[in-house]
Amino acid sequence: MTANILEIHGLVSVVSRHPIINHLDFAIEEGELRVLVGPNGAGKTTLIDLITGRHRPTAGQILFKGQRIDGRARHEIYRLGISRKFQVPTVYDNLTVFENMSIGLRGHRSVFSSLSYRMTPAAVEQIERVLAQIKLLERAREEAFTLSHGEKQWLEIGMVVASDPQLLFLDEPTTGMTREETNATARLIRDIAKTRSVMVVEHDMSFVRQIARTITVLHQGRKLAEGSVREVEDNPKVAEVYLGKVKISAVS
């Protein structure tokens, strides 16, 4: 059995007396590719927000490689090796694709180290390698606002990959993509997940089937089910939650 890179014990997040995350226990194994699904308002994005330090949990513990990280600053959590892609693709519109990538690149985070930082050929090569992977190499010199929605998704994925995290959260990485783009994204994510732990939040079940080994279903801030694609799809509780939809497999 491999060690858990992330462990969550009794996590609670209450926003104006409404529990968004409700006594959640959750773990991700080292090197795992996990998919998190759940209806709107299940607390998927909030969970990522809590882990990456956007919000403080009301109660409970978050452990990254055995170390408590709940309540720590965002930049500190990043520096431990945790990155995230936002639900809405969030890139720097007025910077070029290449510049966007260089912001993502790991290293030189403090004011004074960034003042003296000169990009090395190795760094340029690394950026170009990722750009080739996300098919944006030929647009490297263009400002990010010229990209389509799907391309922005890829750029942000590229940026977080360049930041070389040990644990990566991808919040709805295929929204706004065509079927072909979605398939390409699935290949990309499988590739990324070879060398790190990844958790993907996604609605698109055909996409989920392409990448998932283990699925966790979140509902009203609690873990409703967890298991392989088949186990989760056959779970009657899951079918019930996706109201109207008799089986989760119908959602695609």
Partner 1 sequence: MGIGLPRRYLFLGLAVIAVLFFFPYYAGDFRMNQLGLFLCFVMFALSLDLIWGFTGILSLGNAVYFGGGAYFVAMSLKLKYAATNPARYGSGIPDFMEWNGLTAVPLWMRPLENIWFAAPAGVLAMGLLAFVFGFIPFKRHIYGVYCAVITLAESLIFEELIIEKQAYTGGFNGITDYGSYSSNITFYWIILAVTVFFFWFARRLTTSHFGMILQSIRENELRSEFFGFEVANYKIFVFTVAAMMSAIAGGLYAALNGIVSHQEIGPLLSVEGVIWVAVGGRGTLIGAFVGPILIKGAESLLSEQFAWLWGLLVGLLFILVIVLMPDGIVGTLIRRARRKRALAAGRQPAYEPSAVGVEETPTTL
The burial of 97, by beta-carbon neighbours within 10 Å (0-12 exposed, 13-18 middle, 19 or more buried), is given as buried
Of the pair 1, 73, the CB lying nearest partner 1 is at 73
| Rounded CA separation 145/96 (Å) | 9
Angle formed at CA 41 by CA 38 and CA 212, multiple of 5 degrees: 20
- Which DSSP string corresponds to 186-208? HHHHHHHTTSSEEEEE---HHHH
- Which DSSP string corresponds to 33-82? EEEEE--TTSSHHHHHHHHHTSS--SEEEEEETTEE-TT--HHHHHHHHE
Quick check: 190 binds partner 1 (CB under 8 A)?
Answer: no
Contact letters for partner 1, residues 134-163 (x by CB under 8 A) = --------xx-xx-x----------x---x
Quick check: 214 binds partner 1 (CB under 8 A)?
Answer: no
- Shortest CB 116 distance to partner 1, Å: 9
| Helix, coil or strand: residue 9 | strand
Quick check: 104 binds partner 1 (CB under 8 A)?
Answer: yes
Quick check: 79 binds partner 1 (CB under 8 A)?
Answer: yes
Quick check: 174 binds partner 1 (CB under 8 A)?
Answer: no
- Shortest CB 39 distance to partner 1, Å: 19
Site for partner 1 in 43-62 (CB under 8 A): 52, 54
Contacts of 124 (CB under 8 A, 6+ apart): none
Looking at residue 3, the DSSP 8-state letter turns out to be P
Quick check: 122 binds partner 1 (CB under 8 A)?
Answer: no
Quick check: 164 binds partner 1 (CB under 8 A)?
Answer: no
Which range touches partner 1 (CB under 8 A), out of 63-71, 73-81, 212-220, 237-245? 73-81
- Shortest CB 54 distance to partner 1, Å: 8
Contacts of 9 (CB under 8 A, 6+ apart): 25, 60, 61, 63
Quick check: 15 binds partner 1 (CB under 8 A)?
Answer: no
Helices (H), the chain: 44-52, 74-81, 97-104, 111-115, 121-133, 149-162, 179-192, 205-211, 229-233, 236-241
Quick check: 252 binds partner 1 (CB under 8 A)?
Answer: no
Quick check: 83 binds partner 1 (CB under 8 A)?
Answer: yes
Of the pair 149, 230, the CB lying nearest partner 1 is at 149
Interacting residues with partner 1 (CB under 8 A): 52, 54, 73-75, 78-79, 83-84, 86-88, 90-96, 99, 102-104, 108-111, 114-115, 117-119, 142-143, 145-146, 148, 159, 163
